[in-house]
A and B are shown apart, each in its own frame.
Chain A
């Protein structure tokens, strides 16, 4: 798979620690919602580093968008977050990871469970659903620390409703005054309330830090979901 040149068009603050980067990548051949890219940075002396990032844009969007959480002392994410500027180029290849892709032909309700930046591939799925007027129900359960850490907040508010899409926020560290939603880490009780019953045959996607994905996937199996109906993407190596 070839390395392609991608040029930064713009950057946008999503939260204090998360930025989206909009790229122009003329040779890009398209992707499925849920897939990721590899990016490669090269230092002046030739040293290179690669990392994977989920694609936040949907296949029909004009540009490729990545959403990067800045990890303290990380090698690559602080560079992308702080230094990379409009006009800069970097190398990218993909799309990768058909195992985590969702297409409009997928049968059954779409259940998405995200921890932190694990929401990124689900933005692509939600936009792709809307663009294709998919009316099978979809539900995003999204765990963030505080309301300020919710990525794509306005877009999620906006996407809720029309085509049977629901968004359930879970705020684990602090909650705004009058918060009526869940206020603790996702557990079996929360999952039994917010997920469809196994009999409804949902297609479930879980994405986030390794420990989050492990806990959620185990709870879902305990609740009677078929392991084959659960797809996971673990962002590691944190947690």
Chain B
């Protein structure tokens, strides 16, 4: 049972409340959440790799990656630190495209990043047009603070699942905890069920 805070009024969102998951507020700037310095990645060395439980591992250079068919999508994002940003526009390659023709028994993936961070997701959550590897935000190349050159984009989960500086996806036979998940954050992270932390 919630405790009423005497005299607290709050700032009601100026958007359709059905677009805001519980406990979130609308941010107008673009805050940053990460556990360390922003890594520097040179584009000639950048690669995106798909490894693990896969018939043949796949790997793309920056140029090869940018030659893949891309999509531009507009959607809402929700960060575990409480801010949400509505109608953000991203350009990237659908994970379905990257997985095309892959034969695998995997049920989960571990996304890993330049800088060493990792995050786990069910494979099904990055399929079916629900996840991208994004290289542009608002039609501009993705700024390093926000995960450039490329970040995973899985908008239906809390935004830490959208691994910044992503370098690859490992296909796994079972779930395994990534960096944030080992540090107290939820294994799945559905904002609509407010799955922020362990035990939520």
Contacts and interface: CB of A to CB of B under 8 A. Distances in A.
A227 B38 CA distance: 8
Nearest to B35: A99
B3 A90 contact: yes
B31 A234 contact: yes
Contacts of B199: 1-2
Dominant secondary structure at the B interface: loop
Interface string A33-57: 0000010111110111111100000
Nearest to A91: B3
A2 B194 CA distance: 12
Dominant secondary structure at the A interface: mixed
Given A52-B82, A227-B115, A237-B27, A43 B9 contact: yes
B39 A227 contact: yes
A65 B11 CA distance: 26
- Give the interface size class of chain A: 35 or more
B180 interface: yes
B100 interface: no
Nearest to A232: B36
18 contacts: A1-B196, A38-B196, A42-B8, A43-B5, A48-B2, A49-B10, A83-B5, A96-B197, A98-B182, A210-B32, A214-B32, A214-B38, A217-B36, A221-B40, A230-B37, A231-B36, A234-B34, A236-B83
Contact of A90 (B5, B11, B32, B184): B5
A228 B4 contact: no
Interface string B9-20: 111100000000
A111 B36 CA distance: 14
A221 B32 contact: no
For the complex of A and B, 9 pairs with smallest distance between CB atoms: A236-B31, A217-B37, A237-B31, A98-B183, A42-B2, A50-B23, A99-B183, A1-B197, A41-B5
Contact of B4 (A1, A44, A220): A44
Contacts of B196: 1, 38
Interface of A: 1-2, 5, 38, 40-44, 46-52, 75, 79, 83-84, 88-91, 93, 96-100, 210, 214, 217-218, 220-221, 227-228, 230-232, 234, 236-237
A220 B3 contact: no
B76 interface: no
Nearest to B6: A88
Given A40-B2, A98-B183, A52 B81 contact: yes
Contact of B82 (A41, A51, A99): A51
B200 interface: yes
Contacts of A227: 36-37, 39, 115-116
A228 B11 CA distance: 39
A213 B180 CA distance: 19
Contacts of A79: 5, 7-8
B3 A221 contact: no
A118 to B, nearest CB: 14
A98 B115 CA distance: 18
B34 A43 contact: no
Of A1, A46, A217, most B-chain CB atoms within 10 Å: A1
A75 B25 contact: yes
Nearest to B199: A1
Contacts of A83: 5-8
Contacts of A234: 31-34
A206 to B, nearest CB: 8
B57 interface: no
A31 B83 CA distance: 24
Contacts of B129: none
B147 to A, nearest CB: 13
A230 B116 CA distance: 13
B170 interface: no
B29 interface: yes
B83 A237 contact: yes
Contacts of A1: 196-200
B36 A230 contact: yes
